[in-house]
Amino acid sequence: MKKVTVQVVIHIAAWSCFLLFPLVFYPRPRDRESTIFGEHYFTTLFFINFGIIVAFYYLNTYVFIPKLLDTKKFVAYTTLILALLIFYGFVPRIYHGLFGSLQPVLPNSGGVGGIGGAIRQPRPRNPPLLSPWNFAIFMLVFVLSTGIKVINQWLRSEQRAKEIANEKLQAELSFLKAQINPHFLFNTLNNIYALASAQSEQTAAAVMKLSSIMRYVLTEARNDLVPLEKEILFTTHYIELQKMRLTDKTSIDFTINGDPLGHQITPLLLLPFVENAFKYGISTRECSPIHILLDIKEDSLYFSISNHKHFNSTLRMADNTGIGISNTRRRLDLLYPGRYDLIINEKQNEFTVHLNIPV
């Protein structure tokens, strides 16, 4: 309702300005007598012109354009506008033909006709067959009404396209995020199953760690952004959970530089890279170092992780569901278009990831 009221006020103000300006500068014949009849004649003509042009504006905006132009009936629309243009150009001539000869008889005490005689006022000069003034006004209002309507329709169309694109983006992000959860849970349960099969004393602690991790996944990870410190805590719990099944062949260096407080990050964004390192970068027979670095700046986060590649890594890659890193790359494209740097280096014996994102 408020928007409609504002529009009404704007229209009234615009038409008031449109009315006052030409009312002052409306052309009148220079040789006519300044009489009550002359002022009434030309003022009445002006208001008739004004009423017709206002009616045309709203008819063009709400009837002609929606019914003809929007439905691609270009010939009918053009023909109608030309007909109205010609008619509006004829209005002064039509008005003069109907009312120009109606001249009042004023009493006169002397002069021609004697005492008590009458004198007729000079008749207004014939206007041109087609008024250039009316042509100009009509074209101005036509351009304004059509332009405003077309621009408004284009803006609404653009807004709708953005809304559809945003809805599609959110749906895709939700789908990608939903893929991560079962993928992560599947891998973690496999690790706990291995502990349970070996009757490890760490099984109960691992289940508690998993409970804490899943609580984060089910609550915080549903949000678009989470506090960076919570994402770091989640990553730490995941690393600790992985450590429970590792041998002394694997060493983990997890370094955090900077203060995470006050920063936010997309949830579960770093997990696929960490998960990938533990899935393909550890061995029970060979040295398996994993280096993880988080460098927190004022407006950016640098993340790097590196791990060795072992002989059976290529074989185990075949078990990958294709979700992990490709999923994360797509999420980065959607969430940080043109604002992130992701470099993945894969050498014969080493796999390294470098990621820089705004936070």
Residues 177-195 pLDDT 10s: 555 556 667 767 777 887 7
Backbone angles phi, psi at 244, to 5 degrees: -65, -25
**Separation in Å, CA 44 to CA 125, 205, 300:** 16, 94, 70
Rounded-to-integer distance, Cα 288 and Cα 284, Å: 8
**Cα dihedral 226, 230, 234, 239 in deg (nearest 10):** 130
pLDDT at 23: 56
Checking if the pLDDT of 229 tops 50, the result is yes
Of 141, 150, 176, nearest to 322 by C-alpha is 176
Under the banding of pLDDT at 50, 70 and 90, the label for residue 208 is confident
Q: Does pTM surpass 0.75?
A: no
Rounded-to-integer distance, Cα 280 and Cα 302, Å: 22
Whether 221 contacts 181, CB under 8 Å: yes
DSSP, collapsed to helix, strand or coil, labels residue 311 as coil
Rounded-to-integer distance, Cα 196 and Cα 193, Å: 5
Task: Read off the pLDDT of each residue in 100-118 and give the average, rounded to a whole number.
Answer: 46
